[in-house]
Amino acid sequence: MDPLISAFLKGASEKNFQQLAMEFLPQYTALVSKTGGMLSPETLSGIHKGLLEGKLPDVMSHIQEAIHAAENAVLQVAVIGQSGTGKSSFINALRGVSHEAEESADVGTVETTMCKIPYQHPKYPKVIFWDLPGTGTPNFHADTYLDKMAFASYDFFIIISSSRFSLNDALLALKIKDAGKKFYFVRTKVDSDLYSEEKTKPKTFKKENVLQRIRDYCLTNLISIGVTEPHIFLISNFDLDTFDFPKLQETLLKELPGHKRHMFALLLPNISDASLELKKHFLQEKICLEALKSAAVSFIPFMTFFIGFDLPQQEECLKEYRNYFGLDDKSVEEIAERLGTPLEDIKDQLKCLDFWSLVKDDSIITQAKNAAEAFSSVSGGPASSVFQALKVYYRRKQFLNTVADDAKHLLRKMETVNVALANSK
Ligand SMILES: Nc1nc2c(ncn2[C@@H]2O[C@H](COP(=O)(O)OP(=O)(O)OP(=O)(O)O)[C@@H](O)[C@H]2O)c(=O)[nH]1
Ligand SMILES: [Mg+2]
């Protein structure tokens, strides 16, 4: 069990709220050490105060509000840069949409983005990527551009370039900074830089040296234009798990406000074990906070009702996790196709598709019972409602672990196929 939950159960049953208040922040910080977490500093201090004063209804409502805010967060990302630099490709990659899909952002070799266009994330409609018009056109004016583009509505800006960053981009970056917004420089197409370098200088070619040269070049350019300490991310839109894309994800997550972080983490493409783990950590936090909320309810006199987690709700929960990890029915079909493996064979390998065997696993009930009894034998607390809360907690964790393991399994298979394909070329 997460230390946060066991400490809460112990503290609440002994009515040792001072101790609980003292322990909460360090324990929560440990729980979210890899992700930053979804609770804002205000929520954390609200929970701390609620615990200190022994006001569990306050604790419960702070957690409830934070979960609600995270689930309903709106995220607007502006992508800017000169024509042809790969803005649309980057948006498609982040939306997990293939360039040929109907709902994809237009990708082409002529200037295809003429005015600002919103692209909703197909799974998370509250997340919108804005493909803003190129900054390289003659009638571009850094002074008026941001106002025209309603800059205040974006959470952050991604400035894209595929060679050197232009003066216009740098001017824009300075304006964005003055307006108190965050921006990140992304240098795309490093795959083609590497390809051409290897072709032209096969004897001296060293991947790391080429990448370092591009990085230094971008840095020098931006600093000379007046951008201080620019963060530059070298990426290939065709190969997200290599180069700096994972670092970009991490940085964006760290710098977003807590309630937006959760949404952003869920939409990130499932490109590596690290990205799957990251998602898992975010969902674990949510499971833990939900359990904490239910546990708090258990200790509020006359309020020990329990909102159930019946089979349809469990099925929905598993479906949701599968969706987050790209294992929904449609995605599994697409993966089977890409692997060239019959769909039934793939399905047989995925434990998360068999809802009934998962819910038949009694060990969850035993775990929850033992944990609830262990704690109530010490305290004589409200064991039954705590047992219900722990049952949900263990069941959700079981679903999450199963889905994440299956996603890793498929990722491994895809990697093997990709390597075989690359070797056959
Ligand atoms: N090799 C390589 N090609 C890329 C990459 N990103 C984009 N491209 C190609 O670059 C061309 C332009 O990409 P787009 O995504 O349409 O660029 P854009 O910035 O949206 O262009 P406009 O809409 O005209 O402003 C397309 O042929 C893409 O396939 C990348 O990371 N590597
Ligand atoms: Mg475009």
The finding on whether 238 has its CB within 6 A of some atom of ligand 1 is yes
Ligand number, closest to the Cα atom of 136: 1
Q: For residue 226, report the distance from its CA to the centre of ligand 1, in Å.
A: 27
User: Alpha-carbon distance 31 to 28, whole Å?
Assistant: 5
For the Cβ of 89 lying below 6 angstroms from any atom of ligand 1, the answer is yes
C-alpha to C-alpha distance for 371 and 379, rounded to whole angstroms = 13
Is the separation of the CB atoms in 298 and 386 below 8 Å? yes
Instruction: Look at residue 1 in the predicted model and tell me its pLDDT.
Output: 80
125: Cα separation from own chain's centroid = 15
Residue type, 179: A
Q: Distance (Å, rounded) from C-alpha 192 to C-alpha 19? A: 58
Write out the two tokens for 288: 């833990």
192 lines ligand 1 (CB under 6 A): yes
Domain segments of the chain as ranges: 3-71+269-424, 75-238
The contacts of residue 354 (CB under 8 Å, 6+ apart) are none
Place of tokens 């998962």: 358
Please tell me the residue having the least CA distance from ligand 1 atom 2: 189
Ligand 1 close to Cβ of residue 84 (< 6 A) = yes
Atom of ligand 1 nearest to the CA of 160: 19
Atom number, ligand 1, closest to the C-alpha of residue 131: 20
| Ligand that comes closest to the CA of residue 244 | 1
Instruction: Please tell me the distance between residue 94's alpha carbon and the centre of ligand 2 in angstroms.
Output: 14
Q: What residues contact residue 365 under an 8 Å CB cut-off, 6+ apart?
A: 391
Q: How far is the CA of 376 from the centre of ligand 1 (A)?
A: 61
Nearest CA to ligand 1 atom 3: 189
Please give the Cα distance from 131 to 420 (Å, whole number): 35
Asked if 76 and 91 touch (Cβ cutoff 8 Å), the reply is: no
CATH architecture entry for 75-238: 3-Layer(aba) Sandwich (3.40)
Query: pTM of the predicted model, to two decimals?
Result: 0.85
Whether the CB of 64 sits within 6 Å of ligand 1: no
Question: 75 - beta bridge partners?
Answer: 127
Q: In sequence order, which residues have a C-beta less than 8 Å from that of residue 97 and are 6 or more positions away?
A: 103, 104, 105, 122
Query: Can you tell me the distance from the alpha carbon of 383 to that of 28, in angstroms, rounded to the nearest whole number?
Result: 24
Ligand 1 near 107 CB (within 6 A): yes
Annotate the chain with three-state secondary structure.
CCHHHHHHHHHHHCCCHHHHHHHHHHHHHHHCCCCCCCCCHHHHHHHHHHHHCCCHHHHHHHHHHHHHHHHCCCEEEEEEECCCCCHHHHHHHHHCCCCCCCCCCCCCCCCCCCCCEEEECCCCCCEEEEECCCCCCCCCCHHHHHHHCCHHHCCEEEEEECCCCCHHHHHHHHHHHHCCCEEEEEECCHHHHHHHHHHHCCCCCCHHHHHHHHHHHHHHHHHHHCCCCCCEEECCCCCCCCCCHHHHHHHHHHHCCHHHHHHHHHHCCCCCHHHHHHHHHHHHHHHHHHHHHHHHHHCCCCCCCCCCCCHHHHHHHHHHHHHHCCCCHHHHHHHHHHHCCCHHHHHHHCHHHCHHHHHHCCHHHHHHHHHHHHHHHHHCCCHHHHHHHHHHHHHHHHHHHHHHHHHHHHHHHHHHHHHHHHHHC
* 185 φ, ψ (degrees, to nearest 5): -90, 130
The burial of 310, by beta-carbon neighbours within 10 Å (0-12 exposed, 13-18 middle, 19 or more buried), is given as: exposed
pLDDT for residue 199: 93
Q: How many CB atoms lie within 10 A of CB 388?
A: 21
Ligand 1 centre to CA of 83 (Å) is 8
Rounded-to-integer distance, Cα 410 and Cα 114, Å: 39
Does the Cβ of 241 fall within 6 Å of ligand 1?
no
Using CA atoms, how far apart are residues 369 and 386, in angstroms rounded to an integer?
A: 9
Ligand 1 atom nearest residue 106's Cα: 16
pLDDT tens for each residue of the chain, 425 residues long: 888 888 888 888 788 888 889 999 999 999 998 888 899 999 999 999 999 998 988 999 999 999 999 999 999 999 998 888 999 899 988 887 766 666 666 666 555 555 788 888 888 888 899 988 777 766 677 778 878 888 888 999 999 999 877 888 888 888 888 888 888 999 999 999 999 999 999 899 999 999 999 999 988 888 887 788 888 999 999 988 889 998 998 888 888 888 899 888 888 888 888 889 989 999 999 999 999 998 887 777 666 555 678 899 999 999 999 999 999 999 999 999 989 999 999 999 999 999 999 999 888 888 888 877 776 655 555 567 788 888 899 999 999 999 999 999 999 998 888 777 777 76
- The candidate with the shortest Cα–Cα distance to 283, out of 20, 75, 34, is 34
Mutate to test the pocket of ligand 1, among 80, 88, 91, 193 (most ligand atoms within 8 A of CB): 88
Report the atom number in ligand 1 closest to the C-alpha of 239: 31
Per-residue model confidence (pLDDT) at position 100: 63
Distance 80 CA to ligand 1 centre (A): 13
pLDDT of 177 reads: 84
CA of 151 to the centre of ligand 2 (A): 19
Closest CA to 318 of 264, 279, 358: 358
Which tokens sit at 54?
């022994």
